[in-house]
Structure 1
Amino acid sequence: MTLFIQHIRNATSLISINGKKILVDPMLSDVGELPPVPFTRSLRRNPIVPLPVTLDTFENIDAILLTHLHFDHFDKTAKTVLNKQVPVFCQPADQKHIKSCGFNNVYPVDDTSQWCGINFKRISGQHAKGIVAKLLGPVSGFILSTSDVESLYIVGDCIFTDQLNEAFKQYQPQVCIVNTPRAQLLLGSIITMSPKDIIKVLRVSPSSKIVAVHMDAISHCTLTRKDLSQYLVAHNVLESVIIPKDGELIHF
């Protein structure tokens, strides 16, 4: 298996797979250039930590993959600086907005799509429970696979539901990028996965290697890398999880 994942910051990753470099959920703004997250207790502007690489890092990418359109996954800097000719893969609901931002090659993935020897399988998800899910809009995850790579599941901002449980059970992804910041809105609504969900994933897909991200970058995320590490140690699963630092490169 030849797979490289460079964790940039928050949910932003650079993935090298089948010789192609794919930028996932780009939030490229400098500290404080984005507003506070709506419907939270924090009035702090975002992001709260700097980008660990220079913007020219993203000049030679082959594609962009967007799980959804919230500003901490597709921000104003990304919309401005990224090459508008690069293909963008997304959920169908987001195609119109991405095109309105000037991107000329936007490919919605309804179920599956093929590109340069890479298969994209979209897994529809929920950002929260109940009415909050409607407020936050649609979210998706994507399983990327090739003839040489068993599978990489980019879960996105999806809470752990029966549908995700079935996806993990069916596909048994070799590597999973999981957003686990325990992001929280007013009235206590949790809108991402949390440490206990990592345990759920490993129960149904025990051979998966998890890359836990989306921490220490946005004001409404209540879980830190240190918190997660301590939790995983206490539950004897730390060996199954990588918690990368901003800018860290991981090779599988």
Structure 2
Amino acid sequence: MTPFQRLVLDPTTVKEPPTRDARPGPSPSNLPPATGTKLHPFNPGAENASLRFIGNATTVLEWEGIRLMTDPNFLHKGDHVHLGPGVTAERLQNPAVDLHELPRIDVVLLSHYHEDHFDRKVEDSLRRSLPIISTPHAKEHLSSKPGDGEAFTNVYALDTFQSMMVDIKRHDNPASIGGKGHKMPAMKVTAMPGKHVPTGIATTLNDFVKAVPPTNGWMLELGYIPPSPSVAIDKDTDPFECGYRIYISGDTLMVDELKEIPHRYQGQRIDLMLIHLGGTTIPSPSMPLLMVTMDAAQGIQLLQLVKPDVTIPIHFDDYNVFTSPLSDFEKAVKEAGLEGKVVYLDRQEDYRFNVKK
């Protein structure tokens, strides 16, 4: 059994850009200004955190001075990714910001090792010491890259329902590094089930050819822990107090394994869901043999299963292998009477929310 893992972040001491091949000149200190800001549909107020939609499944979360980036994919319109033997996809939309224009990133949350979520440009460019939380499969590849200085050195692997803690210690804020009576901000990351390939013959074949990598969803909990370094946080003794809970579906289909999520979090509010849609079909839309991400109908089923307070759809129109556009989901949301539960973000827009203390 993998020991409970902990990562300590201090954004006040990290000066490096997220890429090791940064362009000349100073690195930006912030993301470009948002083109728009969305709030809770019916209960806004006291917002102290934000989520920026960059494109595809790439988002940047900012809270308590840290920046967490999901599934970095920064290819441009017309670029191609390799998705498996004989399967490629063309990017149809540009990301909201270029990879080399990113400000400091403190940690990456990677759902799976697939080029439309971690493209070759990203893999070549990212700083090797940048913390990455992902699947065991991704860690195996990223930590063993051949060549001097090519292996990623700070990769954490989580299997389904395994958790780790990310402590946030800021040296410009004494309360966050152990001030008496003060709580310290932290993030609890738990791997959620996900299945990128339908159960049955397709799974058996994929297990053999290993074309589609294993994937995680995530439960990302933002909250606070006591400041004492003597407190041992593990799955049995967990003093963490959650102030906001985000479920990220990852590239999954609507499978039975997902039913365990509302069971495990029964009585615990899921404030936000980032849902990967698109109805990704391989090898191509002209030869739709296999759907490997949720379409609109499955997306509605997941909303009704998990019952998040708010849902934001992502991963729906960036590549030509997507066959279920966002308009399909919008129509299904209206038909299900769930309009007040969904917020739609354009690229470069923020969703701002409140993490309770």
Mapping of residues 215-234 of structure 1, within 5 Å: 215-234=316-335
Deviations 1:195-230 (CA, angstroms, capped at 9, x unpaired):
222322332333431111111111100122223222
Distance 1:112 1:199, change over 3 A: same
Kept after mapping to 2: 8 A contact 1:2/1:149: no
Q: Give 1:96's aligned amino acid.
A: E
Match of 2:272 in 1: 175
Kept after mapping to 2: 8 A contact 1:184/1:222: yes
TM-score calculated relative to the size of structure 1: 0.89
Match of 2:254 in 1: 160
**Whole-Å separation in 2 of the counterparts to 1:34 and 1:86:** 25
Q: Give 2:245's aligned amino acid.
A: S
How many corresponding residue pairs? 250
Q: Which deviates further from its counterpart, 214-223 or 48-57?
A: 48-57
**Whole-Å separation in 1 of the counterparts to 2:121 and 2:132:** 16
Corresponding position: 1:190 with 2:291 = yes
Kept after mapping to 1: 8 A contact 2:55/2:96: yes
**The one of 121, 128, 132 aligned to 2:197:** 128
Kept after mapping to 1: 8 A contact 2:164/2:188: yes
Match of 2:57 in 1: 11
Corresponding position: 1:81 with 2:125 = yes
Structure 1 residue 138 displacement after superposition: 0.8
Match of 1:249 in 2: 350
Structure 1 residue 39 displacement after superposition: 7.1
Mapping of residues 230-241 of structure 1, within 5 Å: 230-241=331-342
Q: Give 2:119's aligned amino acid.
A: D
Match of 2:164 in 1: 113
Larger Rg, first or second structure (1 or 2): 2
Kept after mapping to 2: 8 A contact 1:7/1:248: yes
TM-score calculated relative to the size of structure 2: 0.64
* Structure 1, unpaired ranges of 5+: none
RMSD: 2.2
**Secondary structure at the counterpart of residue 125 of structure 1:** coil
Kept after mapping to 1: 8 A contact 2:261/2:306: no
Match of 2:13 in 1: none
**Secondary structure at the counterpart of residue 139 of structure 1:** coil
**Whole-Å separation in 2 of the counterparts to 1:222 and 1:94:** 27
**The one of 140, 147, 159 aligned to 1:96:** 140
**The one of 131, 134, 140 aligned to 2:216:** 140
**Whole-Å separation in 1 of the counterparts to 2:128 and 2:91:** 24
Calculate percent identity across the aligned residue pairs: 22
Kept after mapping to 1: 8 A contact 2:83/2:212: no
Structure 1 residue 248 displacement after superposition: 1.7
Structure 1 residue 31 displacement after superposition: 1.8
Structure 1 residue 35 displacement after superposition: 3.9
**Whole-Å separation in 2 of the counterparts to 1:229 and 1:163:** 25
Structure 1 residue 87 displacement after superposition: 0.5
**Secondary structure at the counterpart of residue 48 of structure 1:** coil
Distance 1:208 1:160, change over 3 A: farther
